[in-house]
A and B are shown apart, each in its own frame.
Chain A
Amino acid sequence: MRKHLTGQEVLRPTVINWPNEVVRIVDEYQQHRGLVHGVQKDAIQNSWDAKTDKKKGKGWSTVFELLKRKDANFFVFSDTGTTGLTGRVLKFEEMQQDLPEEERWGRFESLAFTKSPEQESVPLGSRGQGKFIFVGASKRYTILYDTLRKDGVYRLGARWVEPTQSPVYSWENEEAKQKLSDLTGGALQPLNEVGTRVIIIDPVDELVDVVENGTFLRFVGETWWEILEKFQAKIVLRFDGQEIAATKPKEFELPERDSKDYAVWLRENEKQKRGNVSFFVKKLHIVSGRRKLAPEEIRGISIQRGGMKICTLLHRYLPQNLAESTYGYVTFDEDTERELRLLEDAEHYSVDFQRGVGRAVKDYVIEELEKFAKEKLGWGADIRQIKRTKQQEAELQAIWAANRIASKLGLVGKIKTKTKRHGEKGRHWKDIRVRFAEFVFPRDDTIRVNWRDKIKDIIVEVVNDADKPISLRLKVFVRFFDKVVNNLLEKDIEIQPYKFVEVFGPHTEHIDKKIYAEKGKYFVIARINSLMDENKGVELDEVKQAFHVERDPPKKGLFEKCEWVGTNPTWMGTVERGEEEGWNLVYNVDHPSYRASEESVNEQKEYLFRLLAFGLCRIDLETKKEKLIKDPKNLEPAQLAERILEGLGKIMHLYHV
């Protein structure tokens, strides 16, 4: 663009609403394990990356400290055995380039200007937004950071957030020492060992609470157990005159042999291949407690990278009692770690398991979990059923893959999302109403339940915001289509004006196959009907919460659903506009290619995906988006056919690679 300018123009930067940006970053972390979990993860990750003994981290330590002072609190973390924040204080222009690893100070002060991960050994962090979680953990959106380097340079920096900028400033040596004293009211002394320190000014209450109630160290132990155990890494927390060292959670017991208390599954140094993707497993260690359940945060198989827990994988068909007692981890060689890192989200809490090495690793872990459950936990009986279920899901998988690619290609329009009943601004609430507290489902990210699972914390409250007492009947029941399958409560109640009462729960609903015999979508319904003379029997309010038994709920995307037709066996299918804003795949179950594909999950998925790929080309033409086929109006029919084939090729490439 600049080549089209004379050089005389005064350019205007794009204004960023920085407070909103910080809130956005904090929200990203909240969606995973929360802000405080993110603070410890990013703090240790930055520090562990900068360790001087690259192999074993000898002499490395990180100390977290909560200092409570009259004027302000400080949450401080400092490290030793690290390089400190080396490098220069960079000018604005320099910050716009990719920065080498040695320019640590510059990297810490910029956002997302780091070398691409392919070029380096595998550092834990890279995208640079982690420092903003520290800013977000400050009530004043302000942090200080200081470093003492091997060459004796002491430097103090500050970052804060203003409406349209997030400025940084720094001081060196004597000036820096004086400034530190001024800014912290003398609460902190300059560093006397080589390393780095970050000072969160006035930490948010959530952070203070988590430090004081002991959860902070548990977060550390759960995330960093591998370096704590393998390298005896020292991570401590100081507050209120105490110093406590982080340790691996005691429930994360990793026995190497079967015993009366544990079933164990080990795989070591295995080269694996799934499809055309190869990877190397250093260790897969699965444990299942025979007598006790594992705490929620350690359940599942932890995907480890560089000593850090990224996320967990769990077999979705495992019965609840096994799922709740099974845990472990998997580690990989450096090459695999490097590839996995490319598939990680910016917060390092999830991996894209839909493609490349992510998908291969997931398949491997799930297969091993299945073998373990079958051979050691006596879970053989359901395997055939799982195979059938997987086959049924080929269609859903094809749709999800097409939706993912449609989104990548920019073919997706605005997708309507359901408005949540709670918290909608401007909603007019009924004076007399019934409401649910949030149900606790067995899996974090889905309202799917399997037989033998439990839905916990079903709580029903009735509110009377009217100015007179009311008398009503509350019914709580579970419905499958028009049929009531389970009555949970029927109770007459009276409520005084402007009061609310908790009438039911916390109830745990067991998903018993005898009651929830049919797979599909069920609703828990709470309904109140008047018992007052003037409108006896009339429904006053109703709330419902859906859950899906032995089925994944449909996902939002360009393709909404499939329609199955049987017709002339030479016709394969097409896409049609759906009821919402998306499209439906209509396919002919009488076509011989479809019939042939029905025998294998992969073939069926591939067949349907090819139809969907054609559908994407058609949608591209019909909606005139021209993301796949450019300028179709000026193409001869033969050229158009050629371009459609090119489009199909591009989609199939995205699908497989």
Chain B
Amino acid sequence: MAVIIKEKRKIAGKDVVVKVYKTSEAILSKEEREQAEELDRFLRERMKEIEERLRKKGLLELRGRKGVLKLWFELGKELGFVDNNKLIREADKRWLWRALYDHAPNLAPGPPNVRANERPENSHFRYCYLLAKKFPDFKFVESAGDWTAWAEFLDSPSISEEPRIIEWLATKQRKYAPSAKQDWLRKLTRAIRNEFPYKRAKTDTSIFSDEDLNERLEATYRQIYGENEE
């Protein structure tokens, strides 16, 4: 099924905003066009409702301010609806993240940037969704770092797609009070990225046994915070 996004185009010499049907298919059938339009209507309604709920909770005011993490976390929880929705095809899900900018401009930090246009799977709405899905405990989320730190964490597939690293990270929650180690996540993300690189030499963390992986993560941790931190 296709997803409709809005783009500025030059048509007959004039700049106009057009609806572009994005799909992984080579063709757009009538059936698919109609489903895309249905999805578009659905997203418009759903995002309006979400925005309204967040406004009522007073969270929209946090946009662009310190503490915005709470807003994006709550938005992420709301975005859980994209799972198991019959109107959204796995292959076209990436375009859905881009379409949300059109339907909920007040729920994004700004208009879609180049990255959101070209790689929407690495953009704001998906990070919100991933954060709430993978770390449902906001206390922990808050204790680990701010939104920038989390965005950096979610940007690294070798880390964010390995459930054992996420589980390990969650265990750290018990050991630190929320105020004790603000923003430890950012430092840790960088160290884990070095340990399990992805960009130049892709690392497959599933190669490591649970014990092995845990040992490496702990060693990385100790490297940053020293032996006495625990």
Alpha-carbon gap, A643 to B85, bound state (A): 52
Name the one of B18, B33, B91, B205 contacting A567, with C-beta atoms under 8 angstroms: B18
CA distance A35 to B99 in the complex (A): 55
Q: Does B148 contact A (CB under 8 A)?
A: no
B1-56 CB contacts (< 8 Å) to partner A: 2, 4, 9, 11-12, 16, 18-21, 24-31, 33
B81 at the interface (CB under 8 A from A): no
Does chain B have a CB within 8 A of A568? yes
Q: Are the CB atoms of A567 and B21 closer together than 8 Å?
A: no
Q: For the complex, what is the distance from the CA of A199 to the CA of B90, rounded to whole Å? A: 62
A531 to B203, CA, bound (A): 11
Contacts of B197 in A (CB 8 A): 538
Binds B, one of A102-110, A369-377, A388-396: A388-396
* Size category, B interface: 20 to 34
- Residue B180 at the A interface, CB < 8 A? no
What is the minimal beta-carbon distance from A130 to any residue of chain B, in angstroms?
39
* Selected interface stretch from A206-214, A341-349, A423-431, A558-566: A558-566
- How long is the Cα–Cα vector from A537 to B31 in the complex, in angstroms? 45
Contact partner of B12 among A529, A552, A571, CB < 8 A? A571
- Of residues 506 to 522 in A, which have CB atoms within 8 Å of B's CB atoms? 518-521
B201 x A564 contact (CB < 8 A): no
- Docked Cα-Cα span, A564 to B36, in Å, equals 11
Q: Does A285 contact B (CB under 8 A)?
A: no
B91 to chain A: closest residue by CB: A481
B204 touches A388 (CB 8 A): no
Cross-chain contact A520 with B18 (CB below 8 angstroms): no
Q: What separation, in Å, do the CA atoms of A483 and B121 have in the docked complex?
A: 13
- Is B66 on the interface with A (CB-CB < 8 A)? no
Tell whether, in the assembled complex, residue B201 and residue A481 are in contact, meaning their CB atoms are under 8 Å apart: no
- Chain A residue contacts of B30, Cβ below 8 A: 391, 598
Q: Is A535 an interface residue (CB 8 A)?
A: yes
Which residues on A sit within 8 Å (CB–CB) of B121?
A: 482
Q: Which residue of A391, A482, A483, A537 is within 8 Å of B207 (Cβ)?
A: A537
* B91 adjacent to A536 (CB under 8 Å): no
Tell me if B175 is interfacial: C-beta within 8 Å of chain A: no
Binary flags per residue of A395-422, CB closer than 8 Å to B gives 1, else 0: 1100000000000000000000000000
Contact with B along A517-559 (1 / 0, CB 8 A): 0111100000101110001111100000000000110100000
B86 within 8 A of A: no
Q: Which of A518, A521, A537 touches B204 (beta carbons < 8 Å)?
A: A537
Q: Counting CB contacts under 8 A, is B202 at the interface?
A: yes
Q: What residues of chain A lie closer than 8 Å to B20, measured between beta carbons?
A: 563-565
Q: Does A500 contact B (CB under 8 A)?
A: no
Cβ of B77 within 8 Å of any chain A Cβ, yes or no, is no
CA separation between A529 and B9, bound complex, in Å? 45
Q: Are B26 and A568 in contact (CB under 8 A)?
A: no
CB distance from A389 to the nearest CB of B (A): 9
Q: Is the CB of B203 within 8 A of A589?
A: no
In contact, B27 and A393 (Cβ under 8 angstroms): yes
A171 within 8 Å of B (CB atoms): no
Tell whether A282 is near chain B: CB-to-CB under 8 Å.
no
Q: Is the CB of A518 within 8 A of B207?
A: no
Q: Considering residues A393, A396, A563, which has the most beta carbons from chain B within 10 angstroms of its beta carbon?
A: A563
Residue of A nearest to B92 (CB): A481
Query: A568 to nearest B CB, angstroms?
Result: 7
Partner of A391, one of B21, B29, B201: B29
Check A520/B25 contact, CB under 8 A, given A480-B90, A567-B18. Answer: yes
- B193 interface residue per 8 A CB criterion: no
B96 vs chain A, min Cβ distance (A): 13
Q: Which residues of B contact A552 (CB under 8 A)?
A: 26
Instruction: Give the shortest distance, in Å, between B182 (CB) and chain A (any CB).
Output: 31
In this assembly, does A115 line the interface, its C-beta being within 8 Å of a C-beta of chain B? no
The docked-state distance in angstroms from the alpha carbon of A571 to that of B202 is 47
**CA–CA, A519 to B90, complex, Å?**
11
Q: Digit string of A266-278 for contact with B (CB within 8 Å is 1, else 0)? A: 0000000000000
B89 interfacial contact with A, CB 8 Å: yes
When the two chains form their complex, are residues A395 and B27 in contact, meaning their CB atoms are under 8 A apart? yes
Chain A residue at smallest Cβ distance from B198: A539
A473 contacts the other chain (CB 8 A): yes
* Bound form: Cα–Cα A396–B28 in Å: 10
CA distance A433 to B228 in the complex (A): 44
Q: Which residue of A has the minimal Cβ distance to B12? A: A571
Q: A550-608: which residues lie under 8 A (CB-CB) from chain B?
A: 551-552, 554, 561-568, 571, 574, 589, 598
A529-B207, A564-B20, A567-B18 known; A538+B201 contact, CB < 8 A: yes
A615 to chain B, nearest CB (A): 15
Interface residues of A in 345-395 (CB under 8 A from B): 388, 391-393, 395
B196 contacts A by Cβ under 8 Å:
yes
Name A566's closest neighbour in chain B (CB-CB): B19
- Among B16, B91, B208, the residue within 8 A (CB) of A480 is B91
Q: Are A568 and B16 in contact (CB under 8 A)?
A: yes
Residues of chain A with a CB closer than 8 A to B202's CB: 538-539
User: Does the CB pair B204–A589 fall under 8 Å?
Assistant: no
A531–B209 CA distance with the chains assembled, in angstroms: 11
A565 to B28, CA, bound (A): 11
Contacts A531-B207, A535-B201; A565 near B9 (Cβ below 8 A): yes
Contacts of B26 in A (CB 8 A): 396, 551-552, 554, 561
C-beta contact mask, B54-83 vs A, less than 8 Å → 1, else 0? 000000000000000000000000000000
Chain B residues, Cβ within 8 Å of A518: 89-91
Distance in Å: Cβ of B211 to nearest Cβ of chain A: 13
Contacts of B4 in A (CB 8 A): 566
Are B19 and A388 in contact, CB atoms less than 8 angstroms apart? no
Instruction: Report whether B11 and A567 are in contact in the complex, using a CB–CB cutoff of 8 Å.
Output: yes
Partner of A396, one of B27, B31, B94, B207: B27
The verdict on A536 contacting B207 (CB below 8 Å), with A388-B31, A565-B20, A589-B28 known, is yes
With A527-B204, A566-B19 given, can you name 15 additional A-B contacts, CB distance below 8 Å?
A: A395-B27, A473-B204, A481-B24, A483-B90, A518-B89, A530-B207, A531-B207, A535-B201, A538-B201, A552-B26, A561-B26, A564-B21, A565-B18, A571-B11, A571-B12
Q: List 8 A-B contacts (CB under 8 A).
A: A391-B29, A473-B207, A482-B121, A518-B90, A518-B91, A537-B208, A562-B27, A566-B19
Q: Which residues of B come within 8 Å of A, CB atoms?
A: 2, 4, 9, 11-12, 16, 18-21, 24-31, 33, 89-91, 94, 121, 196-197, 201-205, 207-208
CB-based closest 7 A-B pairs: A566-B19, A564-B21, A567-B18, A539-B202, A392-B29, A537-B203, A565-B18
